[in-house]
């Protein structure tokens, strides 16, 4: 039988977890290993009864409430529910006890489902639709909290959100109560049932930023994905925060606002042929560094006014001289590629 054991070494104050089979652990004196707590679970999280009786005074009664899947057990009113953030879980039933925050997005699934009934492939720690990602050392994307992003990216997203144009862009995808740094959104946005993902990665061989719109398999929503390359810094004569804030604005207002809203509106109307048409035209005309969007932005066409307004507002948040340098460099790169 496999058993999960948390152990505490008195001699060097180190903690860890270990899986073991057919091992007998004997409590020794104070200088030896001491079992703090023994917990064994059924597959859906209900704790075994009758032999989970090992509890040491060396333990922490608050920390030890975080058991199955590392989630806090709420024992108030005898509920014994696990707090998963956006919802509560009853391990005795193997069921979620709260409606999914976006149940209307998954009409084919129970409104009490979670992770689109696929916890292996999806995570949903808070039910929000503005998500943050990081690419790890193995090259795989991991969903993280805003506070786990690099400090410069946090400051850049925060500066973007503090401008009027940036706030209006984000609030379209936010849910009531969502927060980005010190900025909070007071109502559900127009496109809150859809998803905006912002990610950071570091690769000196890649572009300074990317953006794309796609529909993930199994989702009844459109996802806007934006990534910022933290390694693309060589030619900037300004701070990382300013450079990244400029890049976020570029992806939002030079690219997303030119076509993404049309895709979402067509999708919400059920016009899948229109969605495919827009996406195909997008791939055909804007598949690389040379694109009508880049050329139109450089020529000052009216459809890119939001980007120009955003830059003016960003100068009130960050150092205006550095903002000008970041914009100048961005346009230099676009011209270098023939726009």
pLDDT digits (tens, 9 = 90+) for 295-332: 999 999 999 999 999 999 999 999 999 999 999 999 99
Predicted confidence band at 63 (pLDDT cuts at 50, 70, 90)?
A: low
Strand partners, 66: 72
Is a pLDDT exceeding 50 seen at residue 52? yes
What is the rounded distance in angstroms from the CA atom of residue 36 to the CA atom of residue 58? 6
Is a pLDDT exceeding 80 seen at residue 31? no
The closest of 331, 326, 261, 263 to 300, measured between CA atoms, is 331
Higher-confidence residue of 116 and 96: namely: 96
Q: Count other Cβ atoms within 10 Å, centred on residue 175.
A: 19
The first and second tokens of residue 40, run together, are: 């064994």
Predicted confidence band at 132 (pLDDT cuts at 50, 70, 90)?
A: confident
What is the rounded distance in angstroms from the CA atom of residue 85 to the CA atom of residue 117? 17
Higher-confidence residue of 157 and 9: namely: 157
Backbone angles phi, psi at 168, to 5 degrees: -65, -35
Backbone angles phi, psi at 199, to 5 degrees: -125, 155
What is the rounded distance in angstroms from the CA atom of residue 226 to the CA atom of residue 329? 20
Percent of the chain with pLDDT over 90: 35
């Amino acid at each position: 039988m496999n058993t999960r054991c948390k152990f505490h070494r008195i001699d060097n104050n180190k903690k860890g977890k270990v899986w073991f089979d057919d091992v007998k652990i004997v409590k020794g004196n104070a200088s030896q290993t001491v079992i703090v707590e023994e917990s064994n679970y059924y597959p859906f999280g209900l704790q075994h009864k009758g032999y989970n009786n090992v509890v040491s005074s060396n333990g922490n009664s608050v920390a030890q409430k975080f058991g199955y899947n590392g989630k806090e057990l709420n024992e108030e009113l005898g509920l014994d529910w696990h707090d998963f953030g956006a919802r509560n879980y009853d391990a005795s039933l193997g069921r979620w006890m709260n409606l999914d925050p976006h149940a209307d997005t998954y009409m084919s699934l129970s409104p009490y489902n979670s992770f689109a009934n696929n916890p292996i492939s999806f995570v949903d720690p808070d039910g929000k639709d503005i998500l943050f990602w990081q690419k790890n050392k193995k090259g795989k994307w991991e969903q993280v909290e805003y506070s786990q992003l690099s400090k410069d990216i946090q400051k850049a997203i925060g500066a973007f959100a503090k401008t009027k144009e940036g706030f209006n862009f984000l609030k379209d995808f936010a849910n009531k109560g969502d927060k980005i740094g010190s900025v909070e959104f007071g109502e559900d946005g127009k496109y809150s049932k859809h998803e905006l993902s912002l990610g950071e990665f570091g690769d000196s061989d890649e572009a300074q930023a990317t953006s794309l719109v796609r529909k993930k398999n199994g989702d009844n929503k459109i996802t806007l994905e934006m990534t910022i390359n933290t390694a693309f810094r060589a030619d900037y004569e300004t701070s990382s925060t300013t450079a990244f804030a400029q890049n976020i604005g570029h992806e939002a207002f030079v690219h997303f606002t030119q076509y993404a809203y049309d895709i979402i509106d067509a999708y919400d109307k059920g016009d899948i042929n229109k969605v495919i048409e827009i996406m195909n035209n997008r791939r055909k005309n804007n598949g690389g560094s040379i694109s009508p969007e880049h050329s139109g932005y450089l020529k000052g066409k009216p459809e890119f006014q939001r980007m120009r307004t955003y830059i003016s507002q960003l100068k009130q948040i960050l150092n205006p001289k550095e903002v000008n340098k970041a914009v100048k460099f961005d346009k230099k790169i676009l011209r270098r590629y023939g726009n």
